[in-house]
């Protein structure tokens, strides 16, 4: 299967992953917990993202299962765009039985009470529509908030900190059809930048669990480049140099990677 670089050789020079992240960053959410011994400041537990849904009575949020399990619903907050909100123990939380994947359906009225009337969401394409409209590539990207670049966030009243986003392009993958897990090679080192500002390795990915994994696709009619949701990032193994994604929602997940 072709990669993004086969179809668009200048993709790296044009930094297309960054451009896509700018288009879709509003759908991202941060899971925040109070930072010990730093009153008013919060630490980043993980990332999540909202998806578009026709049901106006709820907002649908996806993340990694371990993020939602570790989140303190009493004291923690999530962000909607640049606003941090404390929602408490509300809505319907669904944990996937085998994958590190979770969904949280949040009642819209709970967000409206916090002054939030619009929740941006990633579009979800029906399976057959996506297959008819797009040619898939074996290139993907993650976008989220790495903890190493967001060590201390101040969301006190009137404060809207500019969180550092990471857009990471990934080319070539291995899909396990039995488990529904897609893996990528990644050789980033877990060296926090705040300890060594001169480090040029890719940043540590702690805090990005729950980020959306997007697949680059080629629109058949126009030839334009697009992205579709291909799963949820949940783990990084520095020992195996590997990233893992729950490949839920990928319209082509039953196709082998070498499919023509």
In a domain, 119, yes or no: no
Most confident of 176-180, 189-193, 199-203, 252-256: 176-180
Q: What is the per-residue pLDDT across 128-140, written as a single tens digit (0 to 9) for each?
A: 999 999 999 999 9
Domain boundary among 112, 147, 178: 112
Structural tokens at position 140: 């993907």
Helix or strand run (H / E) with residue 233? strand 225-237
Domain boundaries, position 48: 25-112
d(CA 115, CA 118): 9
pLDDT at residue 239 tops 90: no
User: Judging by beta carbons within 10 Å of its beta carbon (0-12, 13-18, 19+), is residue 260 exposed, middle or buried?
Assistant: exposed
Shared-domain flag, residues 103 and 166 = no
Shared-domain flag, residues 83 and 195 = no
pLDDT at residue 73 tops 50: yes
pLDDT of residue 195: 40
Shared-domain flag, residues 129 and 237 = yes
User: Judging by beta carbons within 10 Å of its beta carbon (0-12, 13-18, 19+), is residue 259 exposed, middle or buried?
Assistant: exposed
């Amino acid at each position: 299967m072709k990669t993004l670089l086969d179809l668009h050789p200048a993709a790296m020079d044009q930094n297309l992953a960054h451009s896509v992240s700018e288009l879709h960053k509003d759908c991202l959410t941060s899971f925040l917990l109070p930072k010990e011994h730093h009153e008013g400041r919060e630490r980043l537990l993980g990332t999540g993202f909202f998806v578009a849904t026709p049901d106006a009575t709820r907002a649908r949020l996806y993340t990694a299962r371990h993020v939602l399990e570790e989140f303190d619903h009493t004291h923690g907050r999530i962000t909607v765009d640049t606003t941090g909100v404390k929602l408490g123990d509300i809505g319907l939380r669904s944990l996937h039985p085998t994958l590190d994947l979770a969904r949280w359906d949040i009642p819209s009225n709970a967000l409206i009470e916090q002054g939030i009337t619009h929740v941006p969401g990633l579009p979800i394409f029906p399976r057959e529509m996506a297959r008819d409209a797009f040619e898939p590539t074996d290139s993907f990207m993650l976008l989220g908030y790495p903890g190493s670049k967001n060590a201390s966030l101040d969301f006190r009243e009137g404060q809207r900190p500019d969180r550092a986003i990471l857009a990471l392009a990934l080319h070539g993958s291995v899909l396990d059809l039995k488990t529904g897990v897609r893996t990528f090679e990644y050789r980033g080192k877990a060296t926090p930048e705040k300890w060594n500002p001169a480090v040029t390795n890719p940043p540590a990915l702690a805090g990005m669990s729950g980020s959306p994994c997007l697949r680059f696709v080629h629109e058949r009619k126009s030839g334009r480049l697009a992205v579709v949701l291909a799963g949820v990032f949940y783990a990084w193994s520095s020992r195996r140099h590997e990233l893992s994604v729950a490949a839920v929602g990928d319209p082509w997940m039953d196709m082998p990677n070498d499919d023509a």
